[in-house]
Amino acid sequence: MRYEVEVKFHGDFIKVEGDRIVVGIKSKPEKGMANMELIKKLAKHFNVHPSQVKILSGLTSRKKIIEVINK
């Protein structure tokens, strides 16, 4: 399943609005730390392993397209 994700910094939340998800993260966008935190949060939210969450586009953007693979 694919979702549009918007990242907000200085927060710790997940808000789902249809196929759009807004995620608050605490990590700084340096050396991929923010993307790793995002993947871990979404994996926990969808109850899947982090390897089942992929960022398809927007690696350096606040707006991303992610895919959650349910096995």
Task: List the beta strands (DSSP E) in 1-71.
Answer: 2-9, 13-17, 20-25, 53-57, 63-68
pTM, to two decimals: 0.91
Domain ranges of the chain: 2-68
Question: What pLDDT is stored for residue 52 in this prediction?
Answer: 97
Rounded to whole angstroms, the Cα distance separating 22 from 38 reads: 10
Structure tokens belonging to residue 27: 């990590």
Phi and psi angles of residue 58, each rounded to the nearest 5 degrees, phi first: 90, 30
Question: What pLDDT is stored for residue 46 in this prediction?
Answer: 94
Pick the CATH number of 2-68 from 3.30.1200.10, 3.40.190.10, 2.40.50.140, 3.10.20.740: 3.30.1200.10
* pLDDT surpassing 80 at residue 71: no
- The pLDDT tens digits for 26-48 are 998 889 999 999 999 999 999 99
DSSP bridge pairs for 13: 24
Place of tokens 């609005």: 17
Question: What pLDDT is stored for residue 10 in this prediction?
Answer: 85
